[in-house]
A and B are shown apart, each in its own frame.
Chain A
Amino acid sequence: MPAFALVDCNNFFVSCERAFRPELEGRPVIVLSNNDGCVISRSEEAKALGIGMGAPFFEVRAIVIEHKVASISANHELYVDMSRRVCSVLARHAPVVENYSIDESFLTFPDDHKLEARAHAMRAEVRRWTGLPVAVGLAPTKALAKLGSDKAKKGSGVLSLLDAGIREALLDETPITHIWGIAKRSALRLAPYGIRTAGDFTRARDALIQSTLGIGGLKLAHELRGTSCLTLAGVPAARQSVTVSRSFGKPVYGFEALNSALATFAARAAERARRHGLRAGELGVHFGWREDDRPVMDGDSVRLAPTNDTPTLIRAAKALAERLFVEGRPYKKAGIVLGALEPADTAQSEFFDDGSAEKSTRLSKMVDRLNAELGPYTLRYGGEKSSTAWSSRCDSQSPCWTTRWEDLKTVRPAV
């Protein structure tokens, strides 16, 4: 029987740092996003200290100091190279490898003969060759393989859900919100029907699932029952929204500075949406600041005629920002969220389409291409910030050990 594996690198960014800095083993380590200082990867020790994923650095600073947490600024060049290495090791073990994200790959095996033992060997080889720990979930479908890899992290690193009995027991103890592709909103819609666990979900009638969650939900139910229906190309769109947000190095007071930060975020978000072939039907803007030493947030959103056009999104963000902005507030964070995403090619064009939308999209695509070829921020839209006054300093980025000759790791003799 054909089978799928999901291979997931544990705490990927932290693990890449540890591969070249063994002194970080056993210590709490966090990796922060550049220019903003939000936590984007945590070692198990850091998780145990209560440092949350996505937390802005200023919120966890006290814990970092008290527990001597190593905080490292992200080095994406290193992570991309290490990801590439992991994928080429995986390709030695499976005929089809699909890189789902920088730290996750789906593998397809034509048969499941002794697959668990093969998966253990593969996992050991990734560790030996790259230094990175991975978790592997094995299952007859991709959605189950994903669930398996999530659970494998807590155990021996490999979890097989190929056996129906093991699978059903696990689904019965898994809350529906832990299932890949089920958002909180979807879970709320299922709750009135008594569907709380993934097991409940698999036993629900098809008609009920389709009427509450649509055809995507029904496919997911089939997958969880063990019938594969997400082909390699047909993985559900993982993103339901695109978020670009930053914590500022120091408080920002002026509207102009805030607006230019938002314009930059809107441009980045639009670029991401275009890269994934998506358009947004909704745009949100949020601000964060501190009041009486407590973090406070405010935000608002608007519906849009579906678009991924940068100038349109920048304009919409500015209109929202004007409404939200309060003079004198020490803004510490700002962000853009694109929601109601849909594939760009199926979106209906606007009723009074004068062709300018298409022209604008072509411009956006050209800017993306130049930025991709010549480095980010080569071309900017009016309003996008050129200085980085609002961005916080990058503390300690590791050298590009694997991609730059001048950055090679040095080793001394043992004696």
Chain B
Amino acid sequence: MFVASEDYNDVGLKLDDRLIKRPAATFFLRAAGSEPDADIKDGDLLIVDRAEPPAPGKVIVAVVHGEMLTRRLPPGWREDDGLEVWGVVTFVIRAP
């Protein structure tokens, strides 16, 4: 049976489906400097979801004195400890 090729345009794996849960809330940032504790290396592409709830152990982008900085939330972190969370880093993309 002949099937028009457009019918298969959506077939295949798309990274967006895997890495971006909420497109409206997801932003790409670039790491400037390495941070072993957060598994981030200089130049990494960071996928940041502003809608993802922050939790201890997650890597976040925080706003400290007006600057956006990455850090891993410590085990005892709680929502009300005053740290301004910009978004949660959900994936890190880098060449090996």
Question: Once the chains bind, are A22 and B71 in contact (CB under 8 Å)?
Answer: no
**A352 partner residues in chain B, CB cutoff 8 A:** none
Q: Which residues of B contact A (CB under 8 A)?
A: 22-25, 27-35, 37-38, 40, 45-46, 50-51, 61-64, 66-71, 84, 86
Does A414 make an interface contact (CB < 8 A)? yes
A125, B53: Cα distance in complex, Å: 12
**A24 partner residues in chain B, CB cutoff 8 A:** 66
- Closest CB-CB distance, B50 to chain A, in whole Å? 5
Question: Once the chains bind, are A130 and B71 in contact (CB under 8 Å)?
Answer: no
A129, B27: Cα distance in complex, Å: 10
Question: Once the chains bind, are B25 and A408 in contact (CB under 8 Å)?
Answer: no
Q: How large is the interface on A (under 10, 10 to 19, 20 to 34, 35 or more residues)?
A: 20 to 34
Question: Once the chains bind, are B29 and A413 in contact (CB under 8 Å)?
Answer: no
**B28 partner residues in chain A, CB cutoff 8 A:** 402, 405, 408
> For chain A residues 115-146, which have a beta carbon within 8 Å of chain B?
125, 128-131
Pull 6 A–B residue pairs with CB atoms less than 8 Å apart, ordered by A.
A22-B63, A22-B67, A129-B50, A411-B30, A411-B61, A412-B69
Q: In this complex, what residue of B is CB-closest to A401? A: B27
Question: Once the chains bind, are B29 and A410 in contact (CB under 8 Å)?
Answer: yes
A410, B50: Cα distance in complex, Å: 16
Question: Once the chains bind, are A414 and B69 in contact (CB under 8 Å)?
Answer: yes
Does A298 make an interface contact (CB < 8 A)? no
**A408 partner residues in chain B, CB cutoff 8 A:** 28-30, 45
**B61 partner residues in chain A, CB cutoff 8 A:** 411
Question: Once the chains bind, are B51 and A414 in contact (CB under 8 Å)?
Answer: no
Question: Once the chains bind, are B34 and A413 in contact (CB under 8 Å)?
Answer: yes
Question: Once the chains bind, are B70 and A409 in contact (CB under 8 Å)?
Answer: no
Nearest 5 CB-CB pairs, A to B? Answer: A23-B66, A413-B35, A129-B25, A414-B71, A410-B32
**A22 partner residues in chain B, CB cutoff 8 A:** 63, 66-68, 84, 86
Q: In this complex, what residue of B is CB-closest to A84? A: B24
Does A229 make an interface contact (CB < 8 A)? no
Known: A22-B84, A88-B24, A413-B31. 4 other contacts (CB 8 A): A23-B67, A129-B24, A410-B30, A411-B46
- Closest CB-CB distance, B15 to chain A, in whole Å? 14
